[in-house]
Structures are given as structure tokens and as C-alpha cells.
Amino acid sequence: MTASEQASSQGPVYRIGRRYIQILRACGYLYIAAAAGYIASVGVPETPLSLSTVGVGLFGSLWVMSEWLLRRLERYSLTLSREQLIQASPALAVPWSRMTGVRERRLPQRLEVMGADGPTGIRVEHQLERLAELLDWILARIPYRERAAESLTFTRPLFPRAVLFGMMASMAAIGLWGWFAQDEWAGLGIAGLTVVFAVVGAFAPVVTAVEISDEALTIRHRRRSSRIALEEISSLDLAVSTTAFGSRLSVVALAGEDTLSPIPAGANAIDVYLALRDALALSRGVATAMSVEQFWTIVERAGAQDDRASALWNELSVASVEALHSFCGHYVEHLRRAYRWELWGAAYFMNGDCSDECFLYFRDWLISEGRDVFEQALESPDSLAKLLLVPQAQLEAFGNVPFALFDRAGGDGSDFPSHPKEPVGEPWREEDLPARLPALARRYQTGLSSS
């Protein structure tokens, strides 16, 4: 079975191609070819015939390379299904269960999908459009790593490897030119500088360090040091920024209103992101399948914030697919439990009116109020009269959050219980509601007749 047949049979959910790769990359190759042609023409006698020959050869080579690049760009594509990641050319398919990580390569800029036995052969170019969405898909499926209590440390030396490599390559080229030009001192001088930079790059003191433990994130930059507890970090993301030479990945974290961005990456921004994601997930109890107690802990932490939906997003954004599956399962079960006629009557009082859709959003709001309020409302819906008056007891955004994250992670909710056809309990008529819910009738003046 071909890669495309596998994709169609397993229901592809995301596709990305390299047809729209940045023109700058192709221009870079063309510039290299032009520079090589110019260097080759230096030793050619400056006669009309020789210059025209060099010009024809140069433009001919540029045209051939352009055609080759364009054909290659059209062949590159990735397809993500719920079971695996598929590359069209060359044909490769890697099940999510075999994926262990992503390695970032600087020269050339690309991401390599790693398996248990090393690189899988699937590579993702940095310049691809919608790289952020693709990374969301891939990183969400990398298993969470159960780590010991010791810290994980990432460091950045004085000279980044890519910069050091570029300097050494340039100096080596100039040194060779000096040697062949029979300028011995120039060649020896450049060769000496190459050795000096190599030694400095290898043994220079570390100027930036990122330490991630079970309790805190610590960033050291030269003589400055900052430490923040994991419980204070509200959100985590991996940002993609475009530069003149491609794309750059950086870790972005928020602590309340303060931005800890960008966190200096060590050897690999993705490693820093995954390590911090795992530490946050473990500290919040959302790394694996969660119990109903953990479900309510997360809900009540989010419910204590002014923007409950955003707070819940931050809580669950570091959760694994398994944890999201558990959370959504608990959420669906509590929506079912709250599907009662008397609670619908309470929603009618508190919202002035209440359709089927309104009652769903009312139950979202009720869950966001926390476990005690929820359980008391199930026993006695009239207990909601004790709460502060709310302009509208609905919170659709809160209920959308876990399912949006679960869908983005490629989760399958086919095993969630179906919604009941009818509410539990005895149906009501409007004129009967004040007698059945007297406290709410007194609390909310809705224009209904009272008993």
C-alpha cells in the first residue's frame, strides 16, 4: 500500500506541502551558484568571447538549478492521520506510538522526527507554511516523560555552533585562497585564527543556562539569575519567528501578566519546551489519565480566575492526549448528570428564559462554579439562589476549551457516553416553577407569576 493510500484509508486530518516555501531559500541557492560563477571567472582573460562564455554558463546553470528546485518543491508533502505521520516523497510512514521526539538541526534548518531507533527519515523544513500548526500536532503526540526529581539543564555557550561553523568555514576558505596565492603569512594567519575560535568555542564559559526541576524554572544569563515557581507559570507555547535565513523557534512562557519570552534555548528549543511541558504537566496532574478529583482540581483552579475559559485553556494546554481524553470524559459525564428538569427550571429563572442550547451553556457555567456548588445544585437546584447574582448564568467558552484542545491533539472521543434524549425528573410548566423553586423565584425577578 502506498503512502497516499494509507493516508486515505486512515482518514487524513491535516496536510502540509512545500509548494509555497519561501522564495528566499531558492534565492540563496542561486546566490551561491552566482558567487561560484564569479569566482571561476576571475582567472578568465577579459575578452568579449570569454566573458560571454562565462555569462552563458552562469545563467544556464542558474536556470537548471531553478527548474530542479521548483520540481523538488512540488514533490514535498506531509499527511497527518490519527494513526501516523506520512511523508509522500520519499514514501515513509511513522506511527505516533513509535515517535519519541523531534530534533532540531541548524545546518540546514530542519526538524527531524525521531523514533526509538534514531531518526525516522521524516524531515520538516523550517520554512514550511503553517509550521506552528504542524508542530502542535507533532508535539502533542510525543509521549510525556516520567522524570526523576533532579533538574534538567540546558546551556548555551558563548559562541553558538552555527555561528562558529560559519566563521571557521569562512576563515578556512580565505586561508586556502592565501595559500594558493602564495601568500604564506595570510594562509598561516587565517589558519591560526581558525584554531583560536575553535578552542574558544569549545571551552568558553557558559553564559546562559536554563534549569527545569519539579518545582521551578531557573534562567541564568551571565551574572543575572531569575527563578519562578512552576505553579506561577500560566501558559506555555513554542513560537515560530521568520528571519532572513529561515525560521527560528523559541519558547514562550507567561507568568500571570508577565512574559518570560523568549526563554533562551539550549542545544534545542524543542527540548526545552518538552522538558518544561512535562514538568508543568506533572506538577498539575495532567500528564496522564486523571481521576475525577484531579478533574475538579483543575476546574476549580480555572474557576477562581476572572477569565475562566482562558484559565482552563492554560491549565490544559500542557496536557497529554490521554489526560485530555480523561478530562473530556469526566466533563461529558457531568453534563449528563446535570441534565435534569429542575436544573433546567433554575436556568430558566437565572437567564430569564432558556432554550436547549442555553441549558447546555448553563451546565458549562455550573461546572465552572466548582464541585461543591455543582453537587449541591444536583441535590437541590434552589441552592443556587445563595450565589451572587449573575447577569447571565451561561459559559459556552468554558465548555468549548477541553474539546477544542482534544480535537487539536487528534483525540478520538467515540467512546464518550451519548447524551440522554430526555432530562431526568418531572417536566415543569412555567406557572409551576415558583412553587418548585421558591428561593430562585424570590431572588430573580423574571416577570413570572409567583405563588
pLDDT of residue 80: 80
As given in the structure block, the three cell numbers for residue 340 are 435534569
pLDDT of residue 170: 63
Provide mean pLDDT across the span 423-435.
89
* Residue 63 burial (CB count, 10 A): 11
Domain locations in the chain as residue ranges: 3-130, 152-157+207-284, 161-203, 292-443
pLDDT of residue 38: 59
Q: Percent of the chain beyond pLDDT 90? A: 19
Q: Residue 278's pLDDT band (boundaries 50, 70, 90)?
A: confident
pLDDT of residue 318: 83
Whether the per-residue pLDDT at 4 is higher than 50: the answer is no
pLDDT of residue 8: 38
Q: Exposed, middle or buried by CB within 10 Å (0-12, 13-18, 19+), for 203?
A: exposed
∠ CA 212-217-222 to the nearest 5 degrees? 95
- Euclidean distance between CA atoms 275 and 153, whole angstroms: 10
Greater confidence (65 vs 435) lies with: 435
Does the global pTM surpass 0.75?
A: no
Nearest Cα to 35, choosing from 68, 61, 53?
A: 61
Listed as own residue / partner, the contacts of 226-230 with beta carbons closer than 8 Å and 24 or more positions apart are 228/255, 228/260, 230/279, 230/280, 230/283
Provide mean pLDDT across the span 308-313.
92
Q: Which CATH number fits domain 152-157+207-284: 2.30.29, 2.60.40, 3.40.50, 1.25.40?
A: 2.30.29
Greater confidence (363 vs 139) lies with: 363
Greater confidence (376 vs 46) lies with: 376
pLDDT of residue 375: 95
Between the ranges 131-145, 186-200, 315-329, where is the mean pLDDT highest? 315-329
Of the listed ranges 3-7, 149-153, 273-277, 287-291, the one predicted with least confidence: 3-7
Whether the per-residue pLDDT at 169 is higher than 50: the answer is yes
Q: Residue 264's pLDDT band (boundaries 50, 70, 90)?
A: confident
Provide mean pLDDT across the span 232-249.
76
Of the listed ranges 14-18, 73-77, 287-291, the one predicted with least confidence: 73-77
pLDDT of residue 402: 94
Q: Residue 84's pLDDT band (boundaries 50, 70, 90)?
A: confident
Question: What value does the mean pLDDT of the chain take?
Answer: 76
Alpha carbons within 13 A on the beta-carbon side of 219 = 16
